[in-house]
Every structure is written in C-alpha cells, then in structure tokens.
Structure 1
Amino acid sequence: MDKLTDQLAEISPFDTLPVNVLQMVASQAKPLKHAAGEVVYGPGQTLEYYYLIISGEVEILDPNKVQVSLVQGRHGFGSRNLLRNVQTTGYTRAVVDVELLLIPAEVFLLLVREHRDFGKFYAASRPAAIPAGNDLATVRVSDIMTRNPLKVGPNVTIQDAAAMMRDARVSSLGVVADGTLTGLVTARILTMNALARGLSPDTKVGEVCGSGPLGLPSSSLGTDVLQVMLDNRVAHVPIVDNGRFVGIVSQTDVTRFQAVTSAAFLNDMADAKRVSDLAQVTARIPQLLAQSVASGKSHTVVTRLITDIADGVTKRLVRMAEEELGPPPVPYLWLACGSQGRREQTGVSDQDNCLMLDDAVTPEDMGYFEKLADFVCDGLNECGYVYCPGDMMASNPRWRQPVRVWREYFAGWVQKPDPMAQMLASVMFDLRPIAGTVSLFENLQRETLEMASRNSIFVAHMVSNSLKHAPPLGLLRGFATIRSGEHKNRLDMKHNGVVPIVDLGRVYALQGRLTPANTMMRLKAAEKAGVISASGAGDLVDAYDLIAETRLLHQARQIREGEAPDNFVSPNLLSAFERNHLRDAFLVVRTMQSALAHGRATAG
C-alpha cells in the first residue's frame, strides 16, 4: 500500500492530491497486467475504471483498428468515456507487457469533483463563462493596460523627459529608482508643476513628480482603476506587480475600451465617406479581438463579431462603388468564401470573394463590374484584408461571371475532380452572399449540393482532400512542431489545428446536402441529419472549441504585447494540462479523419 501511494504521488495530476487521499485511492485501486498484444478493452463497453499505466505501453485504436495514439507509463486512459458517460468506440491494446492500475470510476469522478487541480487536469480547459460585453466590472487590468511603459531615472531633466514623451507619443512616463517606481511624469504635471512655475528645463524629474504614486496590481479589475481615477482626480494609474512597474492605464485607455464594441464599429462604418475612414475603423479590430477574448466570449462569438465587421466593410465599399459608378446595369451578388464565408475570421485574414452576375449581362456591361470589383477589392486591401495570394477575388475575371458560367464551373469540378478542381470546390462550398441579389445564388447552391453528393467519385476525392491537413501529433505524447524556418518549434494552429476540422465539416455538409457554411453549424447539422454519430459530433465539437480558443487566446496575448497576431503557438507557453487537453483534441480529429477515410475505402 505504501509503495502504491508513493507511485501515485509521482504521477501527474495525482501529485496534487493530499497524502490521505492518495492512500484512499491506493486502497481502492486494482492492479492488472496484460501481455503484449492483448486487448484491454474493445468498442461498446461501459468503463468501470480509469486506467493508469504503471509500466509498459498501450496503443489506442479506432473502430477500424487503425492506431491513433500511443500511451506510455505514468499516463492514463479512459477519462473521456468516464467524464462523458459514454461507451467506448475503439480498442485499447498492450504494445508490450503492461502493468496497469485500475481506479474505480466512482473514485475517479469523486477526485475530479472534489479536488480542483485534479479536476482541472481532466476537465475541458475552456474558461468559465464571464459576463459578455465591454464591462469594466469584469475585465482585468492586464487586458487593457499599456505594457512596457516608458520609464526614466529621477535625474533625467524635465526637458529630456518631455522630448521622450513626444517622440514615443505617450502622455506619461514612470520615474524609477533602484527598480522601484517613485513617481509619474505626465503632460499635466509638466504643465502645472514645471512650466507654470517657471522651472528651468534642466530641473530633474524627481523634483517634479513627487513620490509614492498610487498603483494597482495587474490582477485588479477595470472598475478599480476607474475608482482610483475618480477618487484622486488623476488621468493615469500605474500598474505595479511585486514592486515592478509593468504597465500604465490612462483615461484614454478606459474610454477606448468602453467604446470598442461591434455596434460602434458598424455605426462608424455606416458614417464612413472614404475608404480611409473605413481603414481607421478596421485598425481597431485587434483591440476588439483582445478585449472580446479577455471578457470570456467564446471563439464562435469572437469570430462572428470580427466577420460581421468584414461584412460591414464590404457592404459599405459596394455602396461606395455604386455611388461612384452609378446603378448596376443588371442584378449581381457579391459573395465571400473562405473564413469570411464561414463567419470564422480571426485577427489574421486575407480576402476571398467573387461576383455572380445575372445571365442578362452583356459584354458591354462587364466593364462596370470590373470597375466595381477593383474598387471593392482595392478598398478591402487598404482596410487590412490583404489581396488573396491565390487571386481568388472578384477582381480576377475568372471569378466575376454570369450565373450560367458559375453553374458550368461547379458541374465541371464535380464531373472531373482533379486536384485543382478539389481545391476550387472546397473554397466555393463555403460561399456566403454579402451584398446584392441573393436569389442568384440560392438555386445554384441547392443544385450543386445535390449534384455533388450523388457523385461518389467526387465525394471520395473530397474526402481524400480533407485528409491532407493532419493534426500535429508526434511520438511519445508529443507534438509535431514546425521543423525549420521563422516558426520553428511551433504549432500551426490554422493549417494543422482548425483547418482539419473545417475540412471534415465541409465533407459532412456535402454528404448530408447541408446548406450551412459555418463549421460549428455544419457539425451540429451533420449530427442532426445522422451523418455522424452523437458521440462523434460531441467529441469533435469539444475538440474544435479547444483548438479554436487556444488559437484566439494566442492571438489576444500577442495583441496585448504589441505584436502582430499570427497562428503559430509555442507549446512551451502552454501549461502541462493545456498541452494534454490540446493533444487529446488533436487525437479526436485524427480519429474522425481515420473513420472518414475508412468509410471512403469501404464504400469503394
């Protein structure tokens, strides 16, 4: 018993449990051994235990006996089934002789419920819901403060300090002596305490700023900052953690935070008279993303907010184009594809769009739509939605055609599904109307879904295409990070994280002739239509939530630290339990890809 207790104390997350709890677990646990090649459990079982590997190695197989994971000593398996109260769907088999410790389900679930750190390790790592909206009562100071604040020593002259503030375009700087913040210099202080008193430009800032400025830790709430400002009639509050000057919050920061809402964006876009006005609006998108993530909004809400802004910018540009060019000669429809089409834009987005024209359009009319497309695409680029690297834009004549030509495009891709056709079809299945006559697209969408779903060869090619992006899983419970280049040793959370799930959702929509373009809506519609099982849909939705939110949290952190957001996450920045859950999410995706591939092979 003592030996078993000691063993548990060395295995995460059991090492977070008190000794008396470990002794209770040891007394209830059941040892078991399996020889190499033996099946520990198969599909359809209701698990009665959580399996902890003391020594040896176990492989996890999908229902088709395709390996999806290797689990080695000091790790466990079976937690997902116990926590979700579902039967097993695959096989677990000993790779070598394995020694297991079986912990009864009721004991394991008790530990999850009663011990926070233990439960946090196994429970989904999505943040608890926080009241949405730009509410100072719920946002942390760390999410609105200016980081890496300007600071000087007390012997710097007020003239030099003023010049530094001017050059850095800031309204304050901290005065630090021996690593400790002793005061603040602000534009108001320079005016009232120096200029109005006629002090020499050579006066030291330490003589002007005073001592012991009011400060708050970064864990404070926005309302704490506001209260300090109101009580002390100051416009700047320094943020100090463990004696270290880490940030500054100004009255402007507070005002800007409260003003950054999607409604404010849409109102500002409606009032925009020039493309440059729209560009000023979209320049605030990173701040909206960071604040939305900080306030606890889910990834589906955040990406919808950001996409709504892209839609608004596009609609305003279309109206501007019509105001400049006059009314269109025939009805038309501007559509978005890619992440905008799916309403899944983040802080990193290029533009993907096209134009569908009424079949009554004449060659003479085409000049009008060329000018309209150029105006809108150029405007989107100026607003930060850079030109598509693959030229998938309405400014390209190929993607600016009458509906009859679009019908021919889709028919050709379905009938001759070569790799290029697969790529184009994948993009075009995410189409969503933005501005114009929606009826131009509705019949075409239904026709294309029906035609494509009936063509088994096309479906098989779409399945194959959806498997090209693999989750970044390595050996020995590690990650397969990027091996070289600018993003070496990082995870591509777009192409190896989100995209594999997006591709799966697209195939499910095709198989079920489902019209939603949004990935989450596709997954839920696929479950309702019986395209995938309830357990498979649930697992994939959970995996999508975790992967997409990890990506957004990464981008929000970059924005707060003054960096341009990207999709490349360093596993070293994640906690141990975050890495474990992320790997579990990738395993779910791999399992669903394997099931889809097997279904294709069986059908063939």
Structure 2
Amino acid sequence: MNSELIEHVMFVQQIPPFDILPKQVLQELTKNITITYVTAGQVLTDNDELQDTILLIKKGILVKRTCINNETSTIEKYGEGDLCRQLILNNNSTLVVEEDALVYCLKLDDVLSAVGEYPSVMQFLTVSHETRLKQTIISQHATEISASPLNNTLIGDLISKQAATISQDETIQQAAEKMTRLGYSSLVVLKQEGSIGIKELGIVTDRDIRVRCVAEALPYTTQVSEIMTKDLYSIDASSIAFDGLIMMMDKNIHHLLVTKNSQLHGVITITDLMHKEAQNAAHLISVIRRAKTVDELVKVGVMLPDVQLKMTKLGIAGLQIGKSISALSKALTVKLIELGQEELGQAPVPFAWFSAGSLARQEQLAYSDQDNGLIISDSALPEHFDWFKKLANFVCDGLNLCGFVYCPGNVMASNIKWRQTQKVWLDYFRTWIDTPSPQALLNSSIFFDLSFVYGEMSLVSDIKKYVLSKTTKSTLFLAHLSKNMQSNRPPLGFIRDFVLISSGDNKSTMDLKHNAIAPIVDLARIYALALGIEETCTIGRLQKVAECKTGNSVVSRSSALSLIDAFEFLVQLKLGLYLKKSLADLPVNNYLSPGDISRLERTHLKDAFKVIKTLQDARQVML
C-alpha cells in the first residue's frame, strides 16, 4: 500500500462510522477517494459534480444554511475531522464554503458498495440524526432485554391461569374452601350491578382470612366482602413486568389485577415478579417496611449507590434504574413519616407529604438531594403547626442520613415556607402563574413536578387540577417558562467540538445535568402544562404529547418521540459516567469530558443535542 493511500486510511478511520470498519474495508473504500480544494463563497449544493457525495473535512469550514421567510440562518458548521452528509440528504438547505477548505469526497454508491456487509455504517450515513439516535436507543434496548428478565417479559406472559372469582355475598368459609380447592392465594370479589354487568369490587387473600377473620374471631359465615381489600389496582397485560413490580412497590400491595381488552384476565403477585427479577429492589423495600428505627433505614440508604452501580453494570435501562431508586427513596420517606408519628403521636389534622423534582418524576438517582414539602389541611389551628415542624425536621434529617442530602436551595418541608396549608399553597401557584417573576419561574421548575407520597391524597390532587386549569389558558406564563428555559442550552459548538467549561475545577467538561438532561425535562413540562397533561415523569409526559390529537399545536409527534430517544440516551450516558467515576474512586458528579467517551458516543451525543436545540429554538420562535 503506497504512502498516499496509507494517509487516506489513517484520516478516514478516525471519523465515525468508519472507525468500526476493518482495515481491508477501509483500504477498498479509500481507493475511490477524490480530494477537492474549495474556496470561500462556493455553494457546494449547486456543484453537480459533488451531488450524492459524502464529504470529510480535512481543513477549512463548511456552513449549512436555510432560508425561511426570506431570512437566512446558519444551522450547522463543519470543521476539521467532520463528516458532512448534506449532499446526499437533500433536505432543502444549502452548503456553503465559509473558509477555504480541503475535503475528501466519497461517492455514496462507492461507499455503500464497500460497506454493504456493515448495515450500521450504511444507516449512519443515510438517515437523519433523529433516526440515527432512535437506532442507538433500539440497540440499547436490545442490551437491556438480556440484562433484566422483567424488561423482556410482558405481564400477560406471566399469567398461566385465569383469575378465580367469588361473589360479595358468599361467606369467608366458602372463600377458603374455593382457594384450597383451586390452589389459589387470592380471589377477586365481584358485584352484580344491575344491567351494567359484573364489577370487580375487591380482592380477598389467604392473609386477609388469617388477619381479619381468624385473628379477630369473626364467624366463618361472615360475608367475604367484610374482610376483602377494597383498593384495587390493575395493569394491562401488554405492560412490561418491570412496571408491574414498580407499581406494587409504590402502592405497597402484593396482588395486582391484570386486564386484557379492559376485561379481567388474571392476578399477578409481587412474589411472581420478584422470582423473575435478579436485581431485587423489592427485597430492599421489604426491609425498609420492616424497619423499626432510623438507624435501620440508614443501613439501607447507604446501600443505594452500590445498588445503582450494580444495575448499571448489568446494562439495565437508565429509566428503569431511576424508577427503582425513586421507589426506594419514596419507601424510605414513607417509613420515616410513620416512625415520626410513632414518636410524635398522630397528626392533629389531615396533611399530605409530597415530593418534587426528580423523585416526583420517578427519575431520582443515588447521590441526589431531596426536594419535598408539606400541605396541611386548612382546618389546622396555630397550635398544630409545631407538630408539623417536628415531623418535617425528623423526616428531612432522616433522608439526609440515608444519603438524600439536604437541598442546597432549602426546598424541603423543614423550611416553613414549604410547610403550609392548602390555601397558602394555592396562593403560591396562582401568584407564580399570574406573575411569572424570575423567582416564580425557578419555583415552577421544582414544584410543577409534584407527586403525592403520604397522607391525604386529595390535598395534592386538588392543587394539581387547579394548576392545569390555569396553565392551559396562560400563554403569558408559558411564554416566560419558554424564555427561561433558554438559559440551559446544550453545549453544542458550531464547529466540530463541544462548548466546554473554560475554567475552574470542571474545566474542559460539560454539565450533563443542566445543559443536556434539564432542557428536555423543561420542554416536557412546558408541553404538559400547555396541554393539561397530568403525567409527571418526563417520558410519560412526552408519550402523552405524542398521543395527543391537539399536540401538533405545541410540538409534533415525531419531535416528541425524538426527545424521548435523546432523554433515554443521555440518562444512560450519565449513569455510565457515574459508574466510571465510582470505579476510579473519583467524586461522582455530572461533568463529562468528551475524551472519556468513544467517537461514536460523541456523535450520538451531538445528535441528541441537535434534537434539543431544534426544539428549544422552536419555542423561542413562538415567544
């Protein structure tokens, strides 16, 4: 191989996706390379000889521009070492030489002929960056499937026999006889509702019979409806099993009705799912619920970083890890509230403890701080507030000991400002929406992600309904939220490299949390508030937006789905960053150096940033 060809191979093999090709394929590919010198001002999209050509920039700068309403804007710049596909995508924009450039030219047909046995390379070159990101997520999902059995199992696949039922009028003895005969641990209790048909009323388990009948010395002739569990939760048979496990852990239940086409299909137990799941977060939640002291909870809390690292090593999806850590965090909070009430006595009036921020979105990870608050019934008297102060301090101190450190901004129930009656909270939200000051917008980014944890649920749900009733009509508030969101931009440079922090302890890195993940969280929140979507988690919000028939007035379905792909990729990248820092015994934080990830990962990271930037720009245009 002559020296010129060696030079070509060495240059091309540094550029994704060619960096994954074997040497002999690269040699074949580079045989057909032509090198062209182009001068500033040339419009390459007008050059017939360069049509259907992939350009690799050796030196100089090319600019991709578009013209909308007679206004020309720069979309992207290509510098040394960049691959430009503009001349093969033909997407109604122009490619102009900004600085004299030396480019390597590869005809698309020659490339596809050389890399025909490498479909991932072909797809990388011929599809949009949104589609490329989608394919990356699909590949990640394939890895996750092999990592966690519950991610690859539908709830319906675990149902081996139909649910057994019993009428509400039948006796406890008849229920026990039926369970024994069928070998079931539970029966679904049914009620006939006139011409409407049969309705699931509750569920009775063998434990209900032991605890509520035998232990209480009830006559066996008592109707089964007297001892059944009335709070029923259900899940569709098409849902993944992992979501069923998370639901049962979150609701503290052991049986879940499974429906198919809106009809009762079966019953799944938490034991069924725990046997399928190797990484057993459910076991830790069981330990939390049996704890008698704060010290016992702390022993579980300090385990969470290791649990997270083990799940990351196994290749479990970042979103599933977030759900697991969030479920554990919520269980710790609930248990601390219960222990607090054992020490302080029962609450003088109804209250609701809520989570905000990442825990409310089910996206909390180990190493996170806490965001929470207390909503107290309007019936509270002045002398009652000292009790709630003591409870708030007890719980927030306990969470800090368990590893969920105090919020640096003091957004906690231990702060009297965030421990108020429902009336005061409603006033807060009304003021934030009607008068969107900078502080109001900051509060909105925290408290508009609100999730009930413990107590009287209506105190939280009433506020959430009130908020959505106002935000769907408040274009001024949404405009201010959109403008405020622009302060967190993805660190995407116009030419080749990322825009990195220029000084300080985190010099030459980028902040994945604030400049990559937070913008997607912000966009999803704005879309949800505009459309009246009750969902709190980021992926759930974007999925609802994609399904919403009126969603096109806010964001297109394809854009919402692209944001989901970007979010999944970035969360997985962040968890990988945490893992690397932990293994290297470095402080765990959100600062990523581009040199610590592969060239291909850097390309996918740019793809994610482009998706975010495009949709941020779209919100800016709407202001």
Q: Same fold by TM-score, threshold 0.5 exceeded? A: yes
Query: In 1, Cα distance between the equivalents of 2:503 and 2:40?
Result: 40
Normalising by the residue count of structure 2, what TM-score does the alignment of the two structures yield? 0.67
Aligned partner of 1:578 among 598, 601, 621: 601
Q: Which whole-Å CA distance do the structure 2 matches of 1:81 and 1:263 have between them?
A: 51
Aligned to 1:494: 513
Match of 1:589 among 576, 600, 612: 612
Equivalent residue letter for 1:132: A
Most deviating of 470-479 and 31-40: 31-40
| Contact 1:17-1:118 at 8 Å conserved across structures | no
What does residue 180 of structure 1 align with? none
Per the TM alignment, residue 486 of structure 1 is displaced from its structure 2 partner at its CA by: 2.1
1:333 is aligned to 2:348: no
Instruction: Give 3-state SS (helix, strand or coil) of 2:366's partner.
Output: coil
SS of aligned partner of 2:507: coil
Q: What is the CA–CA distance in structure 2 between the aligned matches of 1:280 and 1:81, rounded to whole Å? A: 58
Partner letter of residue 349 of structure 1?
S
SS in 2 for 1:454: coil
Q: Name which of 426, 438, 444 aligns with 2:445.
A: 426
In structure 1, the partner of 2:11 is: 10
Q: Which moved more, 1:301-310 or 1:118-127?
A: 118-127
3-state SS of paired residue (1:346): coil
Find the aligned partners of 1:89 and 1:294 in 2 and give their Cα distance.
43
Aligned pairs, number:
468
Secondary structure, aligned partner of 2:45: strand
Alignment of 1:106-505 (within 5 A): 107-108=111-112, 111=115, 114=118, 124=136, 127=140, 128-130=142-144, 131-133=146-148, 261-474=280-493, 476-505=495-524
Letter of the 1:36 counterpart: G
Q: Cα gap change, 1:411/1:80 in structure 2, threshold over 3 Å: closer, same or farther?
A: farther
- SS of 1:590's partner is helix
Specify which of 69, 74, 83 is matched with residue 76 of structure 1. 83
Determine which of 35, 42, 45 is the counterpart of 1:40.
45
Structure 1: distance between partners of 2:66 and 2:470: 32
Distance in structure 1 (CA, Å) of the matches to 2:461 and 2:584:
44
Quick check: 1:341–1:430 contact (8 Å CA) kept in 2? yes
Match of 1:177 in 2: none
Which residue of structure 2 lines up, in the alignment, with residue 254 of structure 1? none
Q: 1:66 to 1:449 in 2, by over 3 A?
A: farther
- Residue 463 of structure 1 deviates from its aligned partner by 0.3
Question: Would you say the 8 A contact 2:29–2:114 is kept in 1?
Answer: no
Distance 2:482 2:109 in 1: 38
SS at match of 1:477: coil
Amino acid at match of 1:77: C
In structure 2, C-alpha distance between the alignment counterparts of 1:413 and 1:334, rounded to whole Å: 21
Instruction: Give 1:546's aligned residue.
Output: 569
CA distance in 1, matches of 2:470, 2:383: 33
Counterparts of 1:460 and 1:268, CA distance in 2:
46
Would you say the 8 A contact 1:60–1:91 is kept in 2? Answer: yes
Q: For each residue in 1:200-236, what CA deviation from the matched residue of structure 2 results, as whole angstroms up to 9, or x when unmatched? A: xxxxxxxxxxxxxxxxxxxxxxxxxxxxxxxxxxxxx
Deviations 1:72-110 (CA, angstroms, capped at 9, x unpaired): 25422349997xxxx848665443466673643795498
2:622 pairs with one of 591, 595, 599 = 599
Per-residue CA distance 1:576-600 (angstroms, 9 max, x = gap): 2222222232222222211211122
Residue 112 of structure 1 deviates from its aligned partner by 7.3
Whole-Å separation in 2 of the counterparts to 1:344 and 1:559: 20
After superposition, give the CA deviation of every residue in 1:398-447 in whole Å (9 maximum; x if it has no partner): 11111111111111111111100111112111111111121122232122
Distance between the aligned counterparts of 1:309 and 1:401, measured in 2? 26
CA distance in 1, matches of 2:527, 2:566: 16
The secondary structure found in structure 2 opposite 1:266 is helix
Segment of structure 1 superposing worse, 540-549 or 378-387:
540-549
Q: In the alignment, which of 45, 58, 63 is matched to residue 62 of structure 2? A: 58
Q: CA RMSD in A?
A: 3.5
Query: Deviation at 1:22?
Result: 5.4
Counterpart-to-counterpart distance in 2, 1:110 and 1:487:
42
Which residue of structure 2 aligns with residue 95 of structure 1?
98
SS at the partner of 1:333?
strand
When the two structures are superposed, what TM-score results if normalisation uses the length of structure 1? 0.69
- Distance, in Å, in 2 between the alignment partners of 1:278 and 1:89 is 59
Distance 1:113-1:298 versus aligned 2 partners, 3 A rule? farther
Distance 1:489 1:360, change over 3 A: same
Q: Distance in 1 between matches of 2:541 and 2:27?
A: 44
Deviation at 1:482, TM superposition (A): 2.1
Q: CA deviation at 1:450?
A: 2.6
Task: Report % sequence identity.
Answer: 31
Cα deviation, residue 468, structure 1: 0.8
Which residue pairs with 1:181 in the alignment?
A: none
Counterpart of 1:589 in structure 2: which amino acid? I
Decide whether the 8 Å contact of 2:82 with 2:496 is kept in 1: no
| Unmatched runs of 5 consecutive residues or more in structure 1 | 42-46, 136-257
Distance 1:317 1:60, change over 3 A: farther
Post-superposition Cα deviations, 1:520-573, rounded to whole Å, max 9, x if no partner, equal: 222222222223223322332222222221111011222334444221222222
Q: Distance in 1 between matches of 2:92 and 2:531?
A: 23
In structure 2, stretches of 5+ residues that fail to align are 126-131, 151-276
Letter in 2 for 1:539: S
Residues 116, 465 of structure 1: CA spacing in aligned structure 2 closer, same or farther, 3 A cutoff? closer
Query: What letter corresponds to residue 105 of structure 2 in structure 1?
Result: L
Matched with 1:200 is none
Query: By how many angstroms is 1:10 displaced?
Result: 2.4
Match of 2:251 in 1: none
In structure 2, relative to structure 1, the CA distance for the partners of 1:534 and 1:134 (3 Å cut) is closer
Is the 1:332–1:355 contact (alpha carbons within 8 Å) kept by the matching residues of 2?
Answer: yes
- The DSSP-based 3-state class of the residue aligned with 2:508 is coil
Shift of 1:31: 8.4
Alpha-carbon distance in structure 1 between the residues aligned to 2:556 and 2:435: 31
Which residue of structure 2 aligns with residue 164 of structure 1?
Answer: none
1:53/1:536 Cα in 2 relative to 1: closer, same or farther (>3 Å)?
farther
